Amino acid sequence: MVQLTFSAARPEPPVLYAREELTRYLTRMLAGATAAIEVELDVQPPPHPAPGWDAALDDWFHVQARPGRIAVTGSNARSVLLGAYRLLHHLGCRFLMPGRRHEAVPALRPEDLRADLQEAAACRHRGVCIEGADSLENILDFIDWLPKIGCNSFFVQHLEPEAFLQNWYAHKYNPLLAPAPRSEAELQRMYRQIDAAIARRGLLHHRAGHGWTCKAIGFEHVCAKLPAPTGAQRPLLAEVDGRREFWQGVPSNTNLCYSNPAARRAFVQSVADYAGAHPEVDYLHVWLADEYNNICECDACRRTTLSDQYVGLLNEIDAELTRRGLGTRIAFLLYQELLWPPEHAVLEHPERFTLMFAPISRTFERSYADHGALPPLPAFRRNRIRLPETVEENLAFLRAWQERCRVDAFVYDYPLGRAHYGDLGYCAIARVIAQDIGALPELGLNGYCSCQELRAALPNAWPNYVMGRMLWDRTLDPQALQEEYFTALYGPGAAEARDALERLSALSSADYFNGIGPRQDAALAARFRRAADAAEVLRALAAEKQTLCTDLHKIAWQLLDYHAGYCRLMVEALAALAQGEENRAQQQWNAVMDHIRRHEMEFQPYLDVYRVLEVATKYTGFTLDMPR
């Protein structure tokens, strides 16, 4: 019988949740033993806070355990929960993927309950932003997983996460599943469950992003296709090629005429109204339209730059929030046109703002850590910009902004947003993530938010795992972590699984899948053909291993078996594409689409079929067989 007694628990929800979680896991780990454990959970500042320490944002804990007693002190309520999970990790628990069936929870003897861990997070910002097609369960499982791997924030993109939920429930791009779109009332219930899951863990709640341009012209949410603006909307829109229209018919991709005072006022009021109505949001993201080379060309707008107009808007928002007594933090975006720093405008109250550097077009075959000399910035040419690709080009923009604007900053990065589909072993992309995190201090960045598919676990969730663990502790050795992860997930065959996946990584290309580089490349075609053999090796290995194990290891090996079959089809398609054999490439690609659609429900938490299809047919060069 195991009895946990909690002394004078603090009332904050994350502390109460830490109590539930400790009870749940320790009861299971100590099952069959007799133990009475006194537990004290408390919130106290760290004894030696680092310069610039913020009690609400920065995480520190001291965890002490000996037989019969546990004490977890955190610098805030969330830190207590983080400390509780750190203790469980120390005692042998491994949280390997989202979803509780993917956890390794060992047995524990009462006399082995010992720990003394005093740690502070290496980075302030450690989180993930939602993308893709996600069921409510996928989202809740991911939020549940974040603090278990050391993360502290979740970003709900858009004003509500409608698009991501509907992508799943409507089974976008999978005609083999019957669409079941949810009603507005059902969606509202889901939104509130997501908010509650974030609050319960005390995660920093990031919200919105694109969509303010829509709200400013009167739409309630981010708005998809519409034929034409109304007479009242038209003058607020950017003038491009002499016309003020929705950009390619999509309001959320349409910029406003930011020199129009009515447009500015509507934009500022929309942000301030939302901030006032949503005190649960810690970081409100204020971004412009989600496209580029479509900014206003009117005479007034031509006299300045988009970034100067943007900083002006941010200052107006700051003033309005201050007037309303709102302390909401604002995150602003360096992306597309906004990569060019303002020429004149400066943030009047930088303490309200966090800079978010979003190098969406970067390579993922090199890390920030490998960067060479930074080139001069290219001249800003209105509606004729080219997005930077190399690590150096991207970092040059960040450096230029930082020279003008000293604020809290993090990188919003995309390794698991598109490029990961090109790394068929997930080992290369995980290495880039680990190296990038190591380079953050040198770049003046205090963290990392991964804009990504939540169903990104085929072949496994090693890239996300290394991300979370290293954002907490940058001194961890990625190779030792990889061994920890693979051993826990695959058991005795871990080294063979690693070798097979490393081989697939070496023979595939994250950049090619992501549309970077020439589409015809004979050397790459040859590499993809060799990857087919590597996939066969993996298939044979997985077929053997899955019969020898049970539980979590069996799930992991079955997943590798499925992955090997998927890789086999995918590399045939990629080899034909890179060889320039268009018909054969499309034929092979059709086989990939058919295969993953047929198996989507079996492997739902691991592979986002909608998103693979979206990326492969927008960036890689394959064709989608149905309307978008």
Residues of this chain that interact with Zn ion (CB under 5 A) are 257, 259, 296, 298, 301
Shortest distance in whole angstroms from residue 211 CB to Zn ion? 20
Residue recorded with tokens 């009870």: 23
Closest of 40, 43, 39 to residue 12, by C-alpha? 43
Of 309 and 452, CB closest to Zn ion: 309
Shortest distance in whole angstroms from residue 146 CB to Zn ion? 41
**What secondary structure does DSSP assign to 223-257, as a single string?**
----S---TTTGGGBPPBTTB---GGG-GGGPPB-
Shortest distance in whole angstroms from residue 257 CB to Zn ion? 3
Of 195 and 297, CB closest to Zn ion: 297
Integer Cα distance of 525 and 400 in angstroms = 39
Please tell me whether the peptide bond between 459 and the residue prior to it is cis, using omega within 30 degrees of 0.
Answer: yes
Of 177 and 298, CB closest to Zn ion: 298
Integer Cα distance of 360 and 348 in angstroms = 28
Of 237 and 433, CB closest to Zn ion: 237
Of 33 and 300, CB closest to Zn ion: 300
Of 48 and 303, CB closest to Zn ion: 303
Integer Cα distance of 393 and 435 in angstroms = 18
Of 66 and 302, CB closest to Zn ion: 302
Of 268 and 609, CB closest to Zn ion: 268
Shortest distance in whole angstroms from residue 292 CB to Zn ion? 16
Dihedral angle, C-alpha 307, 311, 312, 316, nearest 10 °: 150
Of 87 and 240, CB closest to Zn ion: 240
Of 345 and 416, CB closest to Zn ion: 345
* Sequence-distant (≥ 6) Cβ neighbours of residue 173 within 8 angstroms: 609, 610, 613, 614, 624, 626
Residue 202 parent element (H or E)? none
With contact defined as beta carbons under 8 Å apart, do 505 and 428 qualify?
yes
Burial of 110 (0-12, 13-18, 19+ CB in 10 A): middle
With contact defined as beta carbons under 8 Å apart, do 572 and 532 qualify?
yes
- The HSE-up count of residue 529 (CA atoms within 13 Å, CB side) is 10
Of 298 and 549, CB closest to Zn ion: 298
Q: Give the distance, in angstroms, between the CA of residue 459 and the centroid of all CA atoms in the same chain.
A: 18
* Sequence-distant (≥ 6) Cβ neighbours of residue 422 within 8 angstroms: 508, 509, 510, 511, 512, 513, 514, 620
Instruction: Count CB-CB contacts under 10 A for residue 56.
Output: 12
Residue 115 token pair: 């720990």
Closest of 96, 102, 80 to residue 22, by C-alpha? 80
Of 261 and 627, CB closest to Zn ion: 261
Shortest distance in whole angstroms from residue 343 CB to Zn ion? 17
Integer Cα distance of 583 and 314 in angstroms = 50
Shortest distance in whole angstroms from residue 377 CB to Zn ion? 24
Of 257 and 334, CB closest to Zn ion: 257
Dihedral angle, C-alpha 570, 565, 421, 443, nearest 10 °: -130
Shortest distance in whole angstroms from residue 221 CB to Zn ion? 25
Shortest distance in whole angstroms from residue 247 CB to Zn ion? 14
- 3-state SS string for 341-400: CCCCCCCCCHHHEEEEECCCCCCCCCCHHHCCCCCCCCCCCCCCCCCCCCHHHHHHHHHH
Shortest distance in whole angstroms from residue 218 CB to Zn ion? 19
Shortest distance in whole angstroms from residue 227 CB to Zn ion? 22
Shortest distance in whole angstroms from residue 380 CB to Zn ion? 16
Shortest distance in whole angstroms from residue 286 CB to Zn ion? 19
Shortest distance in whole angstroms from residue 296 CB to Zn ion? 3
Integer Cα distance of 519 and 512 in angstroms = 7
Integer Cα distance of 214 and 229 in angstroms = 11
